[in-house]
Amino acid sequence: MTSSATVEVGVGPVSFEDLVAVARDGAAVRLSSDALVAIDQARAVVDKLAEEPTPAYGISTGFGALATRHIPVEMRAQLQRSLVRSHAAGSGPEVEREVVRGLMLLRLSTLATGHTGVRRETAELIAALLSNGITPVVHEYGSLGCSGDLAPLSHCALALMGEGQVRDAAGTLMPAADALAAAGLRPVELVAKEGLALINGTDGMLGMLVLALTDLEMLLRTADIAAAMSVEGQLGTDRVFAPELQAIRPHPGQAASAANLVALLRDSGVVASHRGPDCNRVQDAYSLRCSPQVHGAARDTLAHARTVAGRELASAVDNPVVLPAEGRVESNGNFHGAPVAYVLDFAAIVAADVASISERRTDRFLDKARNHGLPPFLADDPGVDSGHMIAQYTQAAIVSEMKRLAAPASVDSIPSSAMQEDHVSMGWSAARKLRRSVDGLTRVLAVEVLTAARALDLRAPLEPSPATAAVVRLLREHGIEGPGPDRHLSPEIENAVELVRSGAVLAAAQSVIGDLQ
């Protein structure tokens, strides 16, 4: 996808919105004038240190466990080339285009802070690759999330040298040299410090965190819609979502989720039908009654993750780092991915549990003993028809996988680089599994929404709320039929998945009641 928009990268942090625009929408990129000044100032420091006889790590020495060797001037360009080539050692499937574009933008953002020491032409070539839709081929495996996402970033740096494989704007696989030439770009000859500056950052895991949070924040509002449809379709009560009940346990996410449920269920004929004194239901099952508590805790956890991501976006992650005001370069440990890795794992836990409660709400629709008068499995002719029986199996399979993906990656560490790098974050791995979890949650919510919509149709002539009715209409307009004899269900599930993923389900409800919290 391409966009006519252009994102300017300055010395300040990239916003969530700008990252999404570049990574997903194909926005072009340019460096601001203040970023170019900062880059030049840092480069002057590196050039000065490169001329001095005293070894400076990353400028005139080897790297990692080989940092004790002083490299003579005539071999330093070879040092940079060798670093990038040797570290571009990824393996496995290609990483998604949006992930690669996101990590390239974030690396450029760090270069723009003036703390890495690259030349302006090197930084400008990254911006040019992004603007021309040239995406280096990055592989699934190769990052331990410490010393940065070394292998993924090295594959990107390799493309700047005119080496390795890339995909052009049309997605065609080709040698990097050919793609650069076709775009009228020249590869760079890396000089002292540049190779290390291009590969030593948490940009891959951070980019995936920002993209996942963007998706999850939308999906949690969609989860409130799904929950409202389930409460309504299962003749549950909305009284438990009253603001005075939320106020006595003042978690902000819980209050927001409950307020959404109140708004979504407002003016529901289904809910009104059993609100009177004749109702003998004492209280609803946890998966209905406690939806705001679970969805709210998820929201609060993601709010913490967003705070961490914001701090990381405002960081200059490199080692060694250039301090232009002091005219020096210093080693540091800011490349360690622990802060990002932890919240990536937290987010996978959140996704798994929200999916788990969604699957439980769905299952209640299918059990005649618990669905309050609906046919078994919502089938047209139970016994002849199976209804949504196997749709719940699909949910259950996904939820089971998501529970495995919720096992934290950040508690693992495998020493590397001859024990120099003896504790690593595994943040890249945490990010990769979170992407699968986000996809899983999307699918689980889609099955709940289409199941709840079928149940609401079966409650006729009782009328659902205006908000949930809008969601039912959306589904019916996109090839997801109402109750009837069994039919091929998989295409309908995939249609529902896309409606959830695209934000269309959320938009349908919000078109009636305004923006959800």
Token code pair at residue 10 = 């300055």
Q: Which residue, among 365, 368, 384, has the nearest Cα to 484 in the 3D structure? A: 384
Task: Give the Cα separation of 203 and 206 in Å (integer).
Answer: 5
Helix, strand, coil percentages (3-state) for the chain, rounded to 5, are 55, 5, 35
Is-catalytic flag, 393? no
Task: Give the Cα separation of 262 and 243 in Å (integer).
Answer: 9
CB atoms within 10 A of CB 466: 15
Half-sphere exposure of 380 (CA within 13 A, CB side): 9
Q: Which residue, among 122, 100, 102, has the nearest Cα to 31 in the 3D structure? A: 122
Task: Give the Cα separation of 10 and 233 in Å (integer).
Answer: 51
Task: Give the Cα separation of 281 and 265 in Å (integer).
Answer: 18
Q: Is 338 helix (H, G, I), strand (E, B) or coil?
A: helix
23, burial (CB in 10 Å: exposed 0-12, middle 13-18, buried 19+) = buried
The secondary structure of residue 39, as a DSSP letter, is: H
Q: In this structure, are strands 173-175 and 165-167 parallel, antiparallel, or unpaired? A: antiparallel
Token code pair at residue 248 = 């006595």
CB atoms within 10 A of CB 38: 23
Q: Which of these is catalytic: 57, 141, 342, 393?
A: 57
Per-residue DSSP letters for 357-382?
A: HHHHHHHHHH-TTTSSSPPGGG-SSB
- Catalytic amino acids? 57
